[in-house]
Chain A
């Protein structure tokens, strides 16, 4: 199965600053990558799919890039509601697999 590795495990950023989260796949997943945001006690929320397409209702400050094995999620100007855990997921191969997450915390 494809292993998804996210870095860093924890990222401390001040509100209003930019956050850059990374996700690496153990083999190419083309652009079949999604990003999710999860807050405590809630289900994950789909942010992006196709590596860079925002899901319905997702603000433009969330953007994604990459293809193959290296991907990036950028949050351009952090708002208070953006502090959460973020997961990447590949859906190029069965079984679909997720990374272990990056916790974005307030600096």
Chain B
């Protein structure tokens, strides 16, 4: 079955960078897009963008353009999301999700990121 396993919780200072990993199993890695979403506590999820694991091409929501980079490593079946210039309002749970469709059937367990001085 499709499984997505994310890296562990992180605490970051304002201005720092973050890199979250999403290791996949149970399907052909290059066959499904990997999406990244952010969920601030008490709010709905927010779609950040996706990466096509086959080509490596990403697409970003305009809000995150220039601050986020999505990459993948096909040899380890892992996708990565890097965010720079962290602020306190970036404190959230970050999720990866996989699929061919723009709705999300398979999710990682989430990575809690706390940004605090």
In the complex, A32→B101 CA distance in Å? 11
Least CB separation from B47: chain A residue? A96
In the complex, A4→B47 CA distance in Å? 13
* Whole-angstrom distance between the Cβ of A94 and the nearest chain B Cβ: 7
Least CB separation from A49: chain B residue? B103
Q: Does A95 contact B (CB under 8 A)?
A: yes
Interface residues on A, range: 20 to 34
Q: How many residues of B contact A (CB 8 A)?
A: 20
Q: Does B14 contact A (CB under 8 A)?
A: no
Q: Does B91 contact A (CB under 8 A)?
A: no
Which residues from A are CB-within-8-Å of B110? 43
- Residue from B62, B95, B101, B107 in contact with A49 in the complex, judged by beta carbons closer than 8 Å: B101
Least CB separation from A46: chain B residue? B105
Q: Which of B23-31, B38-46, B67-75, B76-84 contacts A (4 or more CB under 8 A)?
A: B38-46
A interface residues, Cβ below 8 angstroms from B: 4, 32, 34, 36, 43-46, 49, 55-56, 87, 89, 91, 94-101
